[in-house]
């Protein structure tokens, strides 16, 4: 492996531990829940999920699980306030 690539891999390892550098703006995933797959999206600070619980409550186990996984990389509420 060339020297340049080795340096980039080392940098990637450091970056991967610095979540405050990463700001999720858009995301779409297929979430294989216990009762089947769901499409979960994050856009402009808002979650959507196609499960029935989300439709009635605006939050669900799928969005909450992703919030945990993405902890530190989602915009804080203050960053989403209208300017
Ligand atoms: Zn859901």
pLDDT tens digit sequence for 29-79: 999 999 999 999 999 899 999 999 999 999 999 999 999 999 999 987 666
Q: What is the pTM of this model?
A: 0.82
How far, in Å, CA of 9 to CA of 27, rounded?
A: 25
**Neighbouring residues of the ion ligand 1, judged by CB less than 5 Å:** 38, 49, 51, 54, 60, 62
Residue 54 structure tokens: 């989300």
CA of 6 to the centre of ligand 1 (A): 40
Residue 11 C-alpha to ligand 1 middle, in angstroms? Answer: 35
Tokens 């980039």 sit on residue? 8
């Amino acid at each position: 492996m060339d020297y340049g690539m080795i340096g980039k891999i080392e940098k990637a390892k450091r970056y991967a531990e610095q979540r405050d550098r990463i700001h999720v703006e858009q995301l779409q995933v297929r979430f294989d829940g216990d009762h089947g797959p769901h499409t979960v999206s994050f856009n402009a600070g808002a979650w959507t999920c196609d499960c029935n619980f989300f439709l009635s409550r605006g939050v669900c186990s799928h969005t909450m699980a992703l919030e945990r996984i993405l902890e530190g990389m989602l915009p804080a509420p203050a960053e989403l306030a209208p300017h």
